[in-house]
Chain A
């Protein structure tokens, strides 16, 4: 739902409302979603990193093995 539907009415009001973003009053909802997303991101990427490194570690590459993989595009 639009917070502002007519700029002339909005700016000529006796007290101009500062908040113009949509869904004023639902900030807690957006904050909760953002925090859940943030925590999920850490868990997901942290787990992925551990798995990937465990897999790479098992291959026991030597310290100079990467040199055969240097591409020469």
Chain B
């Protein structure tokens, strides 16, 4: 940096992403509170530790290979040529390749005086990865082993979400080119995939003991501490602000980027490097939160758990197009997504005996899918990229946003990269006898030994006179 303006822009961008990481940390705090609040007393501490330990597991694997996958896989490989390398192989070199940027032994993957962005950008994506794993964590509480959850957290947090982000959340992603996929704030690339993954795991894992009667009627379990659940969800909302900010590039000159001669146009952009404003998306965020809360309160008849979850489902449903929607469109889409998520949750629970302890499949999966489909209709005809406009299926240019492409995109996110890997991995872990805790441990409580030890300590201390 040899002049003040470049230095200011660079340091501003570095600090901007750094702040998003701090804000997004609250998502994880919220998920931990939410999960513990939803679990029963005898499982509290293990529930907390399960969600906490995904932090180091996803962090190190994101460093080892998750970040590398994101930069290597935009072409598929083999599905559409990269605009950088002009072939459809893995993108490994050429300036923006995985080995240039994201190999764990690369000079940029450390303190580097020549780079101020890679570390904070890596960290912002890492926090998305934690969120991905944490979404799955809530659904499977009180009966999964910590070992199995660790493997599943790494799979969704450092592999499958990273592949979907390369495909549909990268300026060079093949899904933009062939399908016209658009998902600015991750209705699909985070939420639908994680909901689908959780559903795949739940289908193998089975319900908690006592969740269904002998005639198959579902019973309500908890939450034990609704206040902790509600505060947790409030914190997730708060962290979501950081998430929205982290999905943007805060300041970028699109003139030279798009090859427009003599044009200078500084703006914020979304992840696809198309223009939006932080100001506008703030309105959309709030209106979609409002739409979700209103719909959640109405459909659940004022139930706090579903009202708060409705706020989250609303934001998730509107997120795919919140870089371009009018705020009132965000409001309506959020409300529709929330109602669909609520109805689908109970229908799937009764029909397939799926015990989703915190409604994660509904709030993230179903609302995300609904949001993607609606986005295809509402943004029909918009360019999916600023680098060019082409036709669907061709792949050498960028298809415009369209309903069919978004429906296929939703199937890829929820089904192909979400449900299927979750189901297969759970089957493997189940086959190895490592997926579910023993029945007697589930009945006694995962924390039985810890509580017994604490009780003994208490008696010893209480009987002491000095």
Residues of A with Cβ closer than 8 Å to B?
16-21, 27-28, 31, 34-35, 38, 42, 45-46, 49-50, 52-54, 56-63, 65-66, 68-73
Complex: A30 Cα to B113 Cα, angstroms: 21
Which of B113, B147, B455 has a CB less than 8 Å from the CB of A71? Answer: B455
Question: Nearest residue in A to B455 (C-beta to C-beta)?
Answer: A69
Interface residues of B in 47-87 (CB under 8 A from A): 60-61, 64
A-B contact pairs, 27 of them (CB 8 A): A17-B113, A18-B114, A18-B115, A19-B110, A20-B111, A21-B111, A34-B64, A42-B147, A42-B151, A45-B150, A46-B147, A49-B146, A53-B437, A53-B438, A56-B438, A56-B444, A57-B438, A57-B439, A57-B444, A58-B440, A61-B445, A63-B443, A66-B41, A66-B445, A70-B451, A70-B455, A71-B454
Q: Cβ of B391 < 8 Å from any Cβ of A? A: no
Given contacts A18-B115, A27-B105, A61-B444, whether A69 and B452 have CB atoms under 8 Å apart is: yes
- Please classify the interface of chain B as helix (H, G, I), strand (E, B), loop, or mixed, using the class held by over half of its residues: helix
- Please classify the interface of chain A as helix (H, G, I), strand (E, B), loop, or mixed, using the class held by over half of its residues: helix
A58 neighbours in B (Cβ, 8 Å): 440
Indicate if the CB atoms of B105 and A60 lie closer than 8 Å: no
Indicate if the CB atoms of A46 and B434 lie closer than 8 Å: yes
Complex: A58 Cα to B449 Cα, angstroms: 13
Given contacts A16-B113, A28-B105, A38-B60, whether A60 and B440 have CB atoms under 8 Å apart is: yes
B264 neighbours in A (Cβ, 8 Å): none
B146 neighbours in A (Cβ, 8 Å): 45, 49
Q: Cβ of B9 < 8 Å from any Cβ of A? A: no
Q: Cβ of B441 < 8 Å from any Cβ of A? A: yes
Q: List 7 A-B pairs, minimum CB-CB distance, nearest first.
A: A18-B114, A61-B444, A27-B105, A46-B147, A57-B440, A18-B112, A69-B451
Q: Cβ of B277 < 8 Å from any Cβ of A? A: no
Q: Cβ of B276 < 8 Å from any Cβ of A? A: no
